[in-house]
A = this chain, B = another copy of it.
Amino acid sequence: MRPFASGRSVVLWCVLLAAASPRSVPRPPAAEDGYDLWLRYRLVDDAGRLAQYRAALTHLVVEGDSPTLRAARDELSFGLAGLLGSAIPGADSVRRDGALIAGTPATSPLVAALPLADDLRRAGDEGFVLRALRVRGRQAIVIAGNSGAGVLYGAFHLLRLIQTGTPLGALAVVGAPKLRLRLLDHWDNLDRTEERGYAGRSLWDWTHLPDSIDPRYRDYARANASLGINGTVLTNVNANAGVLAPDFLAKVAALASVLRPYGVRVYLTARFSAPIELAGLGTADPLDSAVRAWWRRKVDEIYRVVPDFGGFVVKANSEGQPGPQDYGRTHADGANMLADALAPHGGVVMWRAFVYSNDVPTDRVRQAYDEFTPQDGKFRENVLLQVKNGPLDFQPREPFHPLFGAMPRTPLMMELQITKEYLGQDTHLAFLAPLWEEALRADTYARGPGSTVGHEIRGLAGVANVGSDRDWCGSDLNQANWYAFGRLAWDYTLSSAAIADEWIRMTFSNDPRVVGPVKAMTLASREAVVNYMTPLGLAHQMARGHHYGPGPWVAGGRADQTSVYFNRADTAGLGFDRTATGSNAVRQYFPPVRRRFADRDSVPETLLLWFHHVGWSQRLRSGRTLWQELLSHYQAGVDTVRWMEQTWDGLQGLVDSERFRRVQAFLRIQEVEARWWRDASVSYWQSFSHLPLPPGYEAPAHSLDWYRQLRCPPDPRKPRCDALTNNGTP
């Protein structure tokens, strides 16, 4: 419908080309709505490279037939047709130079005959081998895998290399995932709301499933497969037992059928009290034989309709969810019951360590470690303990979770949050790869130096930021986080910079005038958010009722859900003493880390106030006082957003106008709100420090009372406070 819609303009252009008409099209080039994500297979715009690719890829030979091999072949046909400007024909044998051969040794005699045995061994079950070599005297490129999924991942990797302008002449890549479980967790409810979604409604149109299959499901699967994501948890951890009822399982089965060819297995969240809610049992006690029998029958029933069902994710005895402790049993008792039901089918239980009991602990961040380490070794083999990256809750910055490395006899997964619940939700630019990289590379010293968090885990789960919005993620730049999650799940040693580089080239352009500035913005963005929201190790300073704007003054109600509990601001200083003189949470880390964090001289300044209560006028390593340092971080946050705005403005004409304008509008909002965070926070801290702002420092636009009284518009989950822009009354 848009006059600038892509198909239309293209038709015009080619009719014009074909007819050599002198008439010109009165329209700018195609606008972009973001639906394509990073799978934008646009014509390679470097003529020399295009010629090389065309010569290297003249025909496609895929031996063997399976839904996954067909998916690989279709993606190669479609992707190369776009990238090279014309379809490359399929063939049943190598006919001339430029053969693209794809297959597994088991299904393809051609692949089986190639000298790839060593490489294929390294590739393992899910990996791939990409090689330029001669086959029957002809120049060829081969994509080989030990499974259809490996071939599919190799196909996407080859397309990525072309999208990013990589020469193929000496192609020799062996790719293999470093983690077995690479999952998106959808916190999606059965009524299509999302617990923390900022991109419209849930993708899963339960109402019309299984009768009507939205074409988006397949594109969702393609996007995941392009990154190697191999599982999806369809439902919210705050679970509804309804999804386990037969009617819903039929819907789940329909989704699983669409995702299966793309190597994406379906998982569900299990509500612990389901036997009571669905079957009317009097208990959900995991040691009760009727309960155990019910779960076994239910799991058998699931596998009848979803033969490759992955397993369950469980949030139990946390934030009011039912669990085994309701019956005086342990987490292990609960997890093992489900694990026993799943084991015969090869399914797993991912048991969340994010427990939030009804009692307020001495220090909220200690709870998971204290509760779970005594149970190490008590879980079945097919149970994984799923641990958030930090011990609190997906804050802009936290130290790594002390459970990593601390349960040597229990396989751990790491849970990350792709959806930006605490980092500006849909609107603010915050590229999260640096946050995740920081956690994955942190050294736990569990087994001596080099025991990084990445080494200590078996899988990565990311809370999805995907919804029904046309652009999937609520903003064009949020797509980068889905991309980065998938790439890190495949290989947690990848750098943020490398990931950003790929994503920008695939999503926007290989033009260095675009890649450079967008990469700089992207990589700076998370630290900007930390600075204007919660610098120097502060955390959990949101306003009551939403996780969007500032509320460092929030008090009352349950203590460990308030800001004052976490900031411990007083006239002496700021920060939570977690050393031996305080909660001693620091003791949960292995000694070298513990010592580093416990000592104010060695703790990273980024985590200073997480571990220490510091006097307002105390000098930090920079020579500046805490007060001065704090102010400068808040200001740096705002300044970085302003720089991002200017940088983006400079891309006008280099980025299509539709995405350009959308990003520009969101950056404007981000600046207003960065100032809101800075001004509200600084005003509040000043009410304790009683220290002046230095000359020239941007004074808060309003009084502390004004910020405290600010009430935001009706959207309960996404308050945009227009009073901030309008300078009106709150």
Interface status of A650 (Cβ within 8 A of chain B): no
Q: Which of B24, B43, B191, B247 contacts A723 (CB 8 A)?
A: B247
Mask, A1-23, CB within 8 Å of B = 1, is: 11101111011111111110101
CB contact under 8 A between A665 and B213, given known A7-B7, A10-B7, A250-B726: yes
Within 8 A of B (CB), among A28-85: 30-31, 33, 35-37, 39, 41, 43, 74-75, 77-78, 81-82, 85
* Interface pair B665/A714, CB less than 8 Å apart: no
Instruction: Supply 23 A–B pairs (Cβ within 8 Å), ascending by A.
Output: A1-B37, A7-B10, A11-B82, A23-B87, A23-B89, A26-B87, A27-B87, A191-B715, A192-B715, A200-B201, A206-B715, A207-B713, A208-B666, A211-B666, A211-B669, A212-B662, A212-B666, A242-B714, A247-B723, A247-B728, A250-B722, A468-B469, A470-B470
CB contact under 8 A between A246 and B10, given known A1-B35, A78-B3, A190-B714: no
* Interface pair B87/A1, CB less than 8 Å apart: no
Nearest B-chain residue to A85, judged by Cβ: B15
Within 8 A of B (CB), among A204-235: 206-208, 211-213, 215, 218-219, 222-223
* Interface pair A207/B720, CB less than 8 Å apart: yes
Q: Which of B1, B3, B661 contacts A74 (CB 8 A)?
A: B3
CB contact under 8 A between A86 and B665, given known A207-B720, A726-B246: no
A658 to B218, CA, bound (A): 13
A6 to B728, CA, bound (A): 47
Interface status of A248 (Cβ within 8 A of chain B): yes
- Residues of chain A touching chain B, judged by Cβ–Cβ distance below 8 Å, are 1-3, 5-8, 10-19, 21, 23-27, 30-31, 33, 35-37, 39, 41, 43, 74-75, 77-78, 81-82, 85-90, 189-192, 200-201, 206-208, 211-213, 215, 218-219, 222-223, 240, 242, 246-248, 250-251, 427, 468-470, 658, 661-662, 665-666, 668-669, 713-716, 718, 720, 722-723, 726, 728
How many copies of this chain sit in the oligomeric assembly?
2
Nearest B-chain residue to A19, judged by Cβ: B86
Give me the 7 closest cross-chain CB pairs, A-B, nearest first.
A14-B14, A247-B722, A212-B665, A6-B7, A3-B78, A7-B7, A190-B714
* Interface pair A87/B12, CB less than 8 Å apart: yes
Give min CB distance, A17 to chain B, whole Å: 5
* Interface pair B25/A87, CB less than 8 Å apart: yes
A41 to B1, CA, bound (A): 9
Nearest B-chain residue to A60, judged by Cβ: B26
Give min CB distance, A425 to chain B, whole Å: 9
* Interface pair A713/B242, CB less than 8 Å apart: yes
Q: Which of B15, B31, B43 contacts A11 (CB 8 A)?
A: B43
* Interface pair B12/A86, CB less than 8 Å apart: yes
* Interface pair A23/B665, CB less than 8 Å apart: no
CB contact under 8 A between A669 and B713, given known A26-B87, A78-B27: no
